[in-house]
Amino acid sequence: MAKAKTNKEPTGKAPTAAPTATTTYHACYKRYAPLAEALPDGEIEVCRADVRIAFANVKRGVQAACADPARIRRALPELPLDDVLALPDLGRALIFAATRVTAKPASTGEIEAKLAIVIELREPMLTLAETLAKRALLPKDVVAEIRAGSGKYDLASDGMALAHLYAEHAGALCGKHPFTQEELDKLREASEWLLDTLTPDGARRPVARQRSEAEKMRDRLWTLLVRRYADLRKIAYYFHGEAFDEVTPKLQSRLSRSAAADEAEEVEAEEGGGDDPGADETGGAVAQPAKPALPPSP
């Protein structure tokens, strides 16, 4: 196969499916965790990499190699370009997973603070939901099930269920309740955090089990990232030939200090961030193009 010319002028176009600045690390994690879980156990690579360096190289690689998505689609129609363009979000999911591996167990104070949020919002939302259910604006059986039960874990379950209920019936409830979207998001985020942290009897989850599960998910997300980054390097090789390594460096290629500092700032700003209810991921099988020839592994 003849190599494509490498002196094409930049188009200035941005990747059409590039991740948005508002997507949080937690939302990215929830988006990609099911895809990572679906990978065969025997194919998982243990992550021994510095995930921040990998994340920085992913973002720079996508920006450099995918400036003109339409051109890539014409040249490599079988390559899963949407997955490649979303690689920065997959990198954010990996970083979130890595922070869970090293994170300290939640303190009693943190748990009580989250419970206070749920307790404050649960009762007024549930009381109004019962009234709305009597007027056939909400399903009575769902509301009754939320009211039943007790305990910290049940409170968290109630909070998540209520946030979902108000969101699911937003059209029918428009103008019929005083709760803001900010309050609904706050309730949902606190409830999800508690469900991640507590066992059904209200105790904190054992640290050893949390760490083991977190490590496994980190390794699965790393494996998914490595696979999809290989597709990005195929794009770079197709359009840049032997110079592809400069456009899409290996995942652990070192950055300059200033570049590394920029990446650290983004990560630190996002760590512990809230969820993004708009995030979604349909997944799909990765179709491998017949050409170009495979470059060296990332």
The pLDDT of residue 277 is 37
Percent helix, percent strand, percent coil in the chain, to nearest 5: 65, 0, 35
Residue 2 dihedral angles phi and psi, to the nearest 5°:
-75, 140
Reported as half-sphere exposure (CB side, CA atoms, 13 A), residue 20 has a value of 8
- Integer-rounded Cα Rg, in Å, for the chain is 23
- pLDDT given for residue 272 in this prediction: 44
Decide if pLDDT at 16 tops 70. no
Burial group, residue 63, by CB count within 10 angstroms (0-12, 13-18, 19+): middle
Query: Is the distance from CB of 48 to CB of 258 less than 8 angstroms?
Result: no
Q: Please state, in angstroms and rounded to a whole number, the distance separating the CA atoms of residues 50 and 176.
A: 50
Cα–Cα distance measured from residue 19 to residue 29, given in angstroms and rounded to the nearest whole number? 13
What length is written for the chain?
298
**17-59 tens-digit pLDDT:** 444 344 689 889 999 999 999 999 999 999 988 999 999 999 9
Q: Residues 85-101: pLDDT tens digits?
A: 999 999 999 999 988 88
Task: Provide the percentage of residues in the chain whose pLDDT is more than 70.
Answer: 72
How far are the Cα atoms of 88, 231, 247, 256 from residue 296, in angstroms, in the given order?
21, 11, 14, 23
Whole-model pTM: value is 0.54
